[in-house]
Amino acid sequence: MGEEVKSAAAEIIGECQKLPRLIVFDLDYTLWPFYCECCYENEMPYLYPHAMGILQTLKEKGIDVAIASRSPTPDIAMTFLDKLEIWSMFVAQEIYSSCSHKMDHFQRIHARTGVPFSSMLLFDDEDRNIEAVSKMGVTSILVHGGINLGALGQGLEEFVQKSSAVAVSLDFT
């Protein structure tokens, strides 16, 4: 299934007139189907079925990826990313305790990468995060059942629409 997902993701990406410079993923119930605080470090984590193919294709296409995750057990989350051998795929890994806010993660990601919020795309499973980060200018997609090809297509399509709307409004000012 991995090569099929990569091929389909490449096709979805290839159809876009404009791409985000940075795609940010939450972890719990976005990249993997569990809360890492309900797990032990010695367990072997796993991703949603389409997640690895999507991540690999984004990297192959030159689109940077990052993590913005609230977790009371950031050490377990980081261990899981290492066990899955995907830690190095991310240009920024903002994983903090649940008392932090997604907006704080995005401020740090912006400071580290220099990517404007309007050039970012977020995938997350929580409404409150989608609402908060959208107010910063980030195109934000609510996922149900984790990241998959459908969510990727929706996210890229909304990013293009939002970018086009901003370009049109700038033309009239």
Catalytic residues: 26, 28
In sequence order, the 6+-apart residues with CB closer than 8 A to the CB of 132 are 101, 102, 103
Task: Give CA–CA dist 124/132, Å, rounded.
Answer: 11
DSSP track, 40-96: -TTS-----TTHHHHHHHHHHTT-EEEEEEE-S-HHHHHHHHHHTT-GGGEEEEEEE
Task: Give CA–CA dist 164/173, Å, rounded.
Answer: 15
CB 131 within 8 A of CB 101: no
Q: C-alpha 130: how far from its chain's center?
A: 12
CB 147 within 8 A of CB 31: yes
Task: Give CA–CA dist 94/111, Å, rounded.
Answer: 12
Residue type, position 98, single letter? S
